[in-house]
Copies of this chain bind each other. A is one copy, B any other.
């Protein structure tokens, strides 16, 4: 049984939850890739020595948590899916709807996290990753009139930086913030001048990263975030106050 399952401070878990956790741990430890076929319901009933209702409840729980999908029909059954970092965005959007949070609250959290990411990345980023960042700046500068180029390169810039920080938890948090923000603000575009200004700020951050200067990278990112927020508040006040809604 897992560490979490035996933690005395929690309520007694139901048998279906214990089985769900064992199956999740099995998938992780055996390194099963998405698409891997799991034993059938019948086989699980036998190997866990429990009733059909308990196995169904365990599989259902794993399905609602995106650990597996259940293929319908004859020859169907449980198949590995694996939860993804962006799945947290769904759970986050639900809680934030109940907490009356706005897009501005989401952006404030990003404003707090990104400078920390830049600081950590400065110590850990590889030369190859710095080249990727540099390329995103060049591509935006080459086509400042194209919102699609900006959005793709902006996303690559921030996700590359995030991976370079080697902090799996912060990466999951930022992924979930990005997915909540996209759900609220999706489709907004800005001017070429704005895109060039963002590229220049990105270039300043890259310079600090290249110098492995964590404090400077943090500071440059904070200025980038503050500046973006000020712009946003001036031009898109209504967007900032939009409520977060569960994406279901």
Contacts A4-B246, A61-B248 given: A87-B97 contact, CB under 8 Å? no
Would you list which residues of chain A between 10 and 30 have a CB under 8 Å from chain B?
10, 13, 17-18, 20-21, 24-25, 27-28
Beta-carbon contact of A169 and B120 below 8 Å:
no
Flag whether A83 is at the interface (Cβ < 8 A). Answer: yes
CA separation between A168 and B5, bound complex, in Å? 29
Flag whether A170 is at the interface (Cβ < 8 A). Answer: yes
17 contacts between A and B (CB under 8 A): A2-B246, A4-B184, A8-B187, A10-B247, A17-B248, A24-B98, A24-B246, A25-B246, A65-B91, A87-B95, A88-B92, A96-B169, A96-B172, A105-B169, A108-B169, A108-B170, A116-B116
Among B87, B117, B183, point to the contact of A91 (Cβ < 8 A): B87
Contacts A9-B186, A64-B61, A167-B112 given: A97-B245 contact, CB under 8 Å? no
Measured CB to CB, the closest approach of chain B to A243, in angstroms, equals: 8
A61-96 near B? 1/0 per residue, CB < 8 Å: 100110100000000000000111101100111111
Measured CB to CB, the closest approach of chain B to A116, in angstroms, equals: 4
Measured CB to CB, the closest approach of chain B to A191, in angstroms, equals: 22
Would you list which residues of chain A between 26 and 81 have a CB under 8 Å from chain B?
27-28, 61, 64-65, 67
Beta-carbon contact of B88 and A21 below 8 Å:
no
Contacts A20-B248, A21-B248, A101-B168 given: A183-B109 contact, CB under 8 Å? no
Beta-carbon contact of A82 and B98 below 8 Å:
yes
